[in-house]
Amino acid sequence: MPESLLRTERICRYYQRGPHTVKAVDSIDLEIRSGEFLSLVGSSGSGKSTLLNILAGLDQPTSGKLMIGKRHLDEMSRRDRAQYRAHRVGMIFQSFNLVPHLTAQGNIELALLFNDTPKNERKERAIEILSRLGLADRLDHLPADLSGGEQQRVAIARALVKKPDIIFADEPTGNLDQENSDDIAALLKEQHAAGLTVVMVTHDLNLAQKVSQRIVRLDYGHIAGEETL
């Protein structure tokens, strides 16, 4: 049985909206094992993106425990959480979140700025990963000059270039047409096949079933069901 990479214990994330408390994530116990492809599915507002942000160290839980191996992520300093994101995590977003004034290569190199990669190595690795993902002729292109599918490929390249332990993808095909969605799904599956742990948030159950090993359904902040494929 693969070792546990991430584990949550009764994790909660509440927001205060005026007099109301919104329970975005409410007492979730979840374990992510090394090398698995897990999809978090659910409708809008089910708490799947919030949970993903907590797992990625971008957001802090209101209560509960989050273990990375034997370390408590919820007890880490801001600096340590930043180091966790810089070295161990790759993130992919629905709206790509590329820096608009940087070229494709510049966006990839940006990811290596924070994990102490030497300057000359940054360039080499950026060119190498973009070439591997079929974007060798797009190195100097700004995001605005790329198609949606190409932008998401650049975003995936940015996540992969750090050689992370785990990829968190938040609706990675949400802004793409069917053809590009299939491409991106195939690309993620390929990375998983190469040994990478992937956690994907999607509202598209078909996509989840196509690429995942395990599907966790969320509803109103709770785990509503789990399915192993």
Partner 1 sequence: MTLRDLVETSLGNLWRMKLRSFLTLSGVAVAIAAFVSMLSFGVGMQENAAEQFDKLGLLSIIQVSPKESDSTATVPLNQAALAHIATLPGVELVYPYEALSTVVSFGDSTLSATAQSLSTNALEGKLFSDLAAGHSISSDTAKEVMISDQMIEQLGLDSATQALGKEIIVSVRVASLDSGIYAIFGSAPERIEERARDFNIDSLSNLDYWERVVREEFSFAVGRFIKGFLNDRKLISDTLTICGVVEHRRGRRLRTGDLIIPPATARKFTSSGFSGDPTQLFSVLQTGNIFSPTSDTNSITYPRATVRMAPDALYEPIKDSIEAAGFKVFSFAEQFDEIRRFFRYFNLALGMVGLIALLTASLGIVNTMVMSITERRKEIGVWMSLGADMWDIRRLFLIESGLIGLIGAFFGVVIGWSISRIASFIARSFMESEGVTPFELFSVPFWLVLVALSFGLIVALIAGYYPANRAARTDPVAALRNE
Footprint on this chain of partner 1 (rule: CB under 8 A): 53, 56, 58-59, 78-79, 81-83, 85-87, 89, 91, 93, 95, 97-99, 101, 110-111, 113-115, 119, 158
DSSP state of 114: T
Q: What is the dihedral of CA 73, 110, 136, 210, to 10 degrees?
A: 20
C-beta closer to partner 1: residue 19 or 100: 100
C-beta closer to partner 1: residue 33 or 203: 203
Rounded least distance, CB 169 to partner 1, Å: 12
Whose CA is closest to 151, among 122, 179, 172?
172
Rounded least distance, CB 182 to partner 1, Å: 25
Rounded least distance, CB 221 to partner 1, Å: 16
CA distance linking residue 91 with residue 162, whole number of Å: 11
C-beta closer to partner 1: residue 99 or 136: 99
Q: What is the CA radius of gyration of the chain?
A: 17
Rounded least distance, CB 192 to partner 1, Å: 21
CA distance linking residue 142 with residue 47, whole number of Å: 33
C-beta closer to partner 1: residue 80 or 177: 80
CA distance linking residue 40 with residue 59, whole number of Å: 17
CA distance linking residue 30 with residue 229, whole number of Å: 17
Q: How far is CA 5 from CA 66, 88, 185, in A?
A: 11, 11, 22
C-beta closer to partner 1: residue 108 or 135: 108
Instruction: Provide long-range contacts, Cβ within 8 A and 24+ apart, for 125-133.
Output: 125/161, 126/157, 126/161, 129/157, 129/160, 129/161, 130/104, 130/105, 130/154, 130/157, 132/157, 133/157, 133/187
Rounded least distance, CB 99 to partner 1, Å: 5
Rounded least distance, CB 85 to partner 1, Å: 4
Rounded least distance, CB 23 to partner 1, Å: 16
C-beta closer to partner 1: residue 155 or 185: 155
C-beta closer to partner 1: residue 99 or 193: 99
Sorted by sequence, the CB contacts under 8 Å of residue 1 that are 6+ apart come out as: 33
